[in-house]
């Protein structure tokens, strides 16, 4: 009896989604515990520190680009979920705003990199971390 109730519960879409989300969040916490020692051993602390500095600089650009957009866009999309035209307007206005913020963030990063000599020496590392700042995502509904 209990086993059949548990099976029904797990089959529910909401419960399955929640469990999947918890699994993903748990893996996000556990994965660095296995990967970090290997990366530190291969790169050595100096090279790893260089990468972390580059990632932290890009973290500010990510913060600027995602500045509350994910919350407001999600709300707007949920309100307009039945109107494809409104969905397209929300998607493209959000993407345009994020592209403008991306341009501003990348301009600030470029100024910082070229003004600080330590950053300028290792500009390829800074350039490789710019992929952290993403703006384009597929439109809602896959279309």
Q: What is the mean pLDDT of residues 19-28?
A: 89
Please enumerate in sequence order all residues whose Cβ is within 8 A of that of 9, keeping only pairs 6 or more positions apart, or say none: 15
Cα 88 → chain centroid: 22
Specify the pLDDT at position 133: 74
pTM over 0.75: no
Q: How far apart are CA 36 and CA 27, in angstroms?
A: 14
Q: What is the pLDDT of residues 38-95, one digit of tens each?
A: 888 888 888 888 888 888 888 888 888 877 777 788 888 888 888 889 988 988 988 8
């Amino acid at each position: 009896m209990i086993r059949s109730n548990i099976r029904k519960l797990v089959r529910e879409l909401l419960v399955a989604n929640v469990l999947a989300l918890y699994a993903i969040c748990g893996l996000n916490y556990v994965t660095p515990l296995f990967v970090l020692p290997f990366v530190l051993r291969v790169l050595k602390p100096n090279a790893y520190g260089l990468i972390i500095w580059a990632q932290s600089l890009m973290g500010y650009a990510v913060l600027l680009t995602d500045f509350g957009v994910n919350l407001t866009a999600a709300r707007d999309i949920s309100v307009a979920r039945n109107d494809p035209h409104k969905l397209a307007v929300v998607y493209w206005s959000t993407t345009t705003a994020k592209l403008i913020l991306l341009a501003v963030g990348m301009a600030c990063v470029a100024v910082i990199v070229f003004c600080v000599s330590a950053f300028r020496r290792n500009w390829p590392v800074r350039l490789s971390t710019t992929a952290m700042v993403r703006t384009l995502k597929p439109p809602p509904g896959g279309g």
